[in-house]
Amino acid sequence: MMNKLLKKPIMYLMLVAIFSMALSGSAYAHKGNDDWNKHNEKNSIDAATAVTLIVKGLDLNIDNIRFIKEPKASDYYTKVKDNASYAGSFIIAQFNGLDLPKDINPSAKVTREQFVKWLFGALSHKGDYAWIEIFQEIADANQVTKGYMDSIQKLLIAKIVTLDNKQKFHPKNSVTTAEASTMIARTVNFIKNTKPAPIPETPVLNDVKLTSDKESDTVTRVTIAALAPNPGYGIEITGIQFVKGEAIISYKAVLPDPDKMFAQVITEVKAVTYVPSSYKPVLGQLQPSDSVSAGSNATSVSSGQ
């Protein structure tokens, strides 16, 4: 009984410690300010803090990736300095489904919808979970950026995210320390108490090809393309291993939305990611597929042929 009573306070204290460390390394940290109090809980957080909190709160890592050359934040992001205290968190985020934009500004304030999208990406990377097919009405849904609603709906289903008493989500409001702390704590509980769904059969992708183009002097843009049975399918990059001068890129097929109908037209699907130019991109293994996006800074697109 005592253990149950202590669980939530202990988890919250752990998140407080994580927030304190993250805030000390963020672009908005003030020198000499070591206090973490109720006033801080109402403060909005920047991208450096948000990414660090998700990485540390969900215990994300890159332990399963072998690096011949030490990875640097500048290999993947244009505005993240390699010597920044949060640079390591951004590197880990690159390989754990947060799908951060390449030009992310670490000092920019983070909106509620951005934080939820990153958090859902990390959660999806931790495991494949089954989501019931319901859609919760959101009073200010018209303010949600295109491509963000699915993450919001899934975390509403998981009760990780809640609406206010007017059924509003406030997607464009800056996320606060208290809100981020609560969402991360709930995500940790969800992972602990929810079993991943069985992995569905992987559909066949035909004529899978890898091409690369120079993005800059230090970065190569890599595209994996394949032919799928209809426009509902997609392709996603699931991970990159750096071995002996090669960047081995694994991928998976994304299944069509079961609630939609698609014409049976052979369709080209693509996924894009970026690797240091010092490595040769190599097509890796096809991974088991699911219907949830969990790419590593990758974008999936399709175009009918």
More confident of the two residues 165 and 289: 165
* Percent of the chain predicted with pLDDT > 90: 55
Find out whether 270 and 301 touch, Cβ atoms under 8 Å. yes
- The whole-model pTM stands at 0.59
Confidence at residue 295, expressed as pLDDT on a 0 to 100 scale: 36
Give the bridge partners for 137, in sequence order. Answer: none
Find out whether 231 and 265 touch, Cβ atoms under 8 Å. yes
Averaged pLDDT for residues 285-290: 73
Confidence at residue 74, expressed as pLDDT on a 0 to 100 scale: 94
Confidence at residue 64, expressed as pLDDT on a 0 to 100 scale: 77
Confidence at residue 258, expressed as pLDDT on a 0 to 100 scale: 74
Average pLDDT, the chain: 82
pLDDT in tens, 207-233: 999 999 999 999 999 999 999 888 888
pLDDT band for position 1 (50/70/90)?
very low
Confidence at residue 196, expressed as pLDDT on a 0 to 100 scale: 82
More confident of the two residues 285 and 198: 285
Confidence at residue 29, expressed as pLDDT on a 0 to 100 scale: 40
pLDDT band for position 70 (50/70/90)?
confident
pLDDT in tens, 156-208: 999 999 999 999 999 999 999 999 999 999 999 999 999 887 655 555 788 99
* Percent of the chain predicted with pLDDT > 70: 78
Range from 9-23, 47-61, 231-245, 270-284 carrying the lowest mean pLDDT: 9-23
The answer on pLDDT for 102 being more than 60 is: yes
Range from 38-47, 86-95, 124-133 carrying the lowest mean pLDDT: 38-47
Confidence at residue 105, expressed as pLDDT on a 0 to 100 scale: 98
Strands 206-214 and 219-228: antiparallel
**CA-closest candidate to residue 131, choices 156, 97, 98, 163:** 156
Q: What is the DSSP string of the chain?
A: -HHHHHHHHHHHHHHHHHHHHHHHHSTTPPTT-----HHHHTSB-BHHHHHHHHHHHTT---TT---SS---GGGT-SS--TTSTTHHHHHHHHTTT----TT--TTSB-BHHHHHHHHHHHHHHH------------TTGGGSPTT-HHHHHHHHHTTSS---TTS---TTSBPBHHHHHHHHHHHHHHHHH-PPPPPPPPPP-EEEEEEEEESSSSEEEEEEEEEESSTT-EEEEEEEEEETTEEEEEEEEEPPPTTS------EEEEEEEEEETTSEEEEEEEEEEESS---SS-EEEEEE-
Averaged pLDDT for residues 132-153: 94
